[in-house]
Amino acid sequence: MKRVGMLTSGGDCQALNATMRGVVKGLYNGLKGDVEIYGFEEGYKGLIYNEYRMMNSRDFSGILTKGGTILGSSRQSFKSMKDPDENGLNKVEAMKQNYRKLGLDCLVILGGNGTEKTANLLREEGLNIIHLPKTIDNDIWGTDMTFGFQSAVDIATDCIDCIHTTAASHGRVFIVEVMGHKVGWLTLHAGIAGGADIVLIPEIPYDINKVCEAIERRNQAKKGFTILAVAEGAISKEDAALSKKEYKAKMASYPYPSVSYEIAEQIKEKTGADVRVTVPGHMQRGGSPDPYDRVLSTRLGARAAKLIIDKEYGYMVAIVNGETCKVPLGEVAGRLKMVDPDSGIIEEAKLTGISFGD
Ligand code: F6P
């Protein structure tokens, strides 16, 4: 009998349930039902405080298209993982004890970068871990794609599509602020897919004058409107040149809700344009996974099941060049996958006339 624990940690995304379904179906079929599933509630919290549900294959039926996570999730920062909780409990020791008390053979952890660091810590502490790369940000090192990303691209693209018609009617400059944390994958893909004229991402710090020049060029060409896809982590050249301390001091009295509003004000000032900001926010993480993510998550989940059946632990399951593979957790944890400013996709986007404000 295999005893497999499972948890979803960090910000949710569209294909968490689909991935768990892939794991569980793979385990039930591969082990002919000789498996017990322990579903920990709300991420690492469930493992720390031993809050779990015994689950079976029926719990994972009918959830391929269901967004969110049937286990619930929470953010438990890696930084504070080694600190005791408010009652003095050693959280890492508590997780190890609960794992051992339940006699688990392994723990399947679905999450992003922070989650992955804790997963690696638990691996170093001797637990059998399999990590599955979740996030709309697509910033996990070692995999070409994370599940959730393509579904979020669809939503952000739909948003830019809708903005196009109203921007054109009113001859306005529109900023669509796209999620993605510290990286620009989501903005870059949605920006290209939605036909944005200007795309600002953290990996390519912008010069506001260059941004305004791109708007002016469109005005001169009688385009009538301009769409900017701006990553929530976009940064100006001046800010990128600040030391960490100086940047922190600037942000302490930052008067804008986010970078898009600062850019909007600067564009208004410099060009006199009528500027609006749209922030789709958490919508980008909501709803059903798209077909791409359903396939990806089913494959990653099934591959995780195969690793568990073969007793191969300590890996992240990745997709590289269209094939699933195992990547040692110790090699990828703590590394961020960013957009390469010199990559083909940036060169091609620039060739089609997209300005990155650089
Ligand atoms: O990592 C996923 C993500 O949606 C990021 O794109 C965003 O910066 C962050 O999570 C938002 O976090 P929260 O859900 O805690 O507001």
Give the C-alpha separation, 50 to 134, whole Å: 23
Give the C-alpha separation, 249 to 237, whole Å: 17
Atom of ligand 1 nearest to the CA of 232: 8
Ligand 1 centroid, distance to 11 Cα (angstroms): 6
**105 is annotated as an active-site residue:** no
Atom of ligand 1 nearest to the CA of 180: 6
Query: What integer pLDDT is reported at residue 97 of this predicted model?
Result: 98
Residues 6+ apart with CB under 8 A from 61: 21
Q: Which residues of 236-256 are buried (b: 16+ CB within 10 A; e: fewer)?
A: beebeeeeeeeeeeeeeeeee
Note down pLDDT in tens along the chain; length 358 residues. 999 999 999 999 999 999 999 999 999 999 999 999 999 999 999 999 999 999 999 999 999 999 999 999 999 999 999 999 999 999 999 999 999 999 999 999 999 999 999 999 999 999 999 999 999 999 999 999 999 999 999 999 999 999 999 999 999 999 999 999 999 999 999 999 999 999 999 999 999 999 999 999 999 999 999 999 999 999 999 999 999 999 999 999 999 999 999 999 999 999 999 999 999 999 999 999 999 999 999 999 999 999 999 999 999 999 999 999 999 999 999 999 999 999 999 999 999 999 999 9
Output the six-digit token pair for 296. Answer: 């990806």
Ligand 1 centroid, distance to 129 Cα (angstroms): 24
Query: What integer pLDDT is reported at residue 329 of this predicted model?
Result: 98
Candidate list 12, 137, 139, 290, residue with the active-site label? 137
Output the six-digit token pair for 121. Answer: 């810590």
| Pure H helices in the chain | 16-30, 44-48, 91-101, 113-124, 149-170, 185-193, 208-220, 237-241, 244-252, 259-271, 291-309, 329-332, 344-351
Q: What is the pTM of this model?
A: 0.97
Q: In what order do the strands lie in the sheet with 106-111?
A: 52-55, 35-40, 2-8, 106-111, 129-133, 315-320, 323-328
Q: Which residues line ligand 1 (CB under 6 A)?
A: 11, 75, 112, 135-137, 179-181, 232, 285
